[in-house]
Structure 1
Amino acid sequence: MQTVKQGDTVRVHYHGRLDNGNTFDSSEGRAPLEFTVGAGMVIKGFDNGVIDMKIGDKRTLHIPVDDAYGPKNQEMVLDFPKSNIPSDMKPEIGMDLQMSNNEGQVFQVKVVGINEEFITLDANHPLAGEPLTFDIELVEIV
């Protein structure tokens, strides 16, 4: 039976959990996730975790921070002047916002602090700094 190798396109069902057991994502009720192994379409630990699987195999992957979304980067936490916020916007801690940089790239940020002059925004990936666990099932090698 064929096993997964670098360059194969695969379809997998998955259930992703944090260390506290909370689910952060799942393919349940949706089509399986399709990606090409080694193409950088998924996090490194997930990519490497399907190698040598056969169709129908199930596996639990424990992915350390460095093979997931990496550690939190303090350089991506910034103070943004309240004077630059539209007057009709009322930021709250935990609120997700979109910003754009000088090149016009749009990215997600989370409000993590508010004081009289600034709101503090975190542009790290929401799962940065988290080890992840995935239960996966190989559905197909395309």
Structure 2
Amino acid sequence: MSDSVIGANSEVLMHFDLKLEDGSAADSTRVNKKPAKLVMGDGSLTPNFEACLLGLKEGDKKSFTLVPEDAFGEPLPENIHYMDRSRFSSDLNIEEGMIMAFAQPDGTEIPGIIRSVAGTSVTVDFNHPLAGQVVIFDVEILSVSQSQA
């Protein structure tokens, strides 16, 4: 299957490095030497990320620069929430820049970034940490197979 080209239903094993415009690393599968596995169309990547991968094959290495709209979107004001300090454990030392998991009504958790702590008010940003950023996406395709789904 090594001649498989990434298509709409491909299962892809890849290494990737995600960098910001200034060259700082945002994410990388190489750090833990654990490649990412994804099934095209499963929603784990935005359609624009997936479009970058279409047509690549095993062994390919490619770099893409994505503007915010094609990557993690622009920060949305409705994703900024103001919470009362009493909603947090009293022994928790909340600091700006911390990323915390917040339970949703359905039981799932989403990360929120503490943007400010002022008196009893805590500002939490639920936008993706890379929202509003231009990202450079370096990929190395390790294997491609057709999804059995």
Task: Give your verdict on TM over 0.5.
Answer: yes
Provide the TM-score with structure 1 as the length reference: 0.88
Secondary structure of 2:51's aligned partner: helix
Residue 51 of structure 1 pairs with residue 57 of structure 2: no
Q: Decide whether aligned partners of structure 1 residues 112 and 7 sit closer, same or farther in structure 2, where only a CA change above 3 A counts.
A: same
Following superposition, the deviation at residue 76 of structure 1 comes to 1.1
Secondary structure in 2 aligned to 1:69?
coil
- The reply to whether residue 38 of structure 1 matches residue 28 of structure 2 is no
Deviation of residue 7 (structure 1)? Answer: 0.7
- State yes or no: 1:22 paired with 2:24: yes
Match of 1:133 among 133, 136, 141: 136
Inter-partner Cα distance in structure 2 for 1:115 and 1:37? 43
Counterpart for residue 9 of structure 1: 11
Q: Following the alignment from structure 1 to structure 2, what is the Cα–Cα distance between the partners of residues 107 and 33? A: 20
Q: Identity of paired residues, percent?
A: 25
Alpha-carbon distance in structure 2 between the residues aligned to 1:23 and 1:77? 25
Report the CA distance between 1:105 and its aligned residue.
Answer: 3.2
TM-score normalised by length of structure 2: 0.84
AA matched with 1:33: A
Gaps of 5+ in 1: none
Question: Is contact 1:44-1:68 (8 Å) kept?
Answer: no
Q: Distance in 2 between matches of 1:31 and 1:116?
A: 42
Query: Contact 1:14–1:26 (CA<8 Å) still a contact in 2?
Result: yes
Gaps of 5+ in 2: none
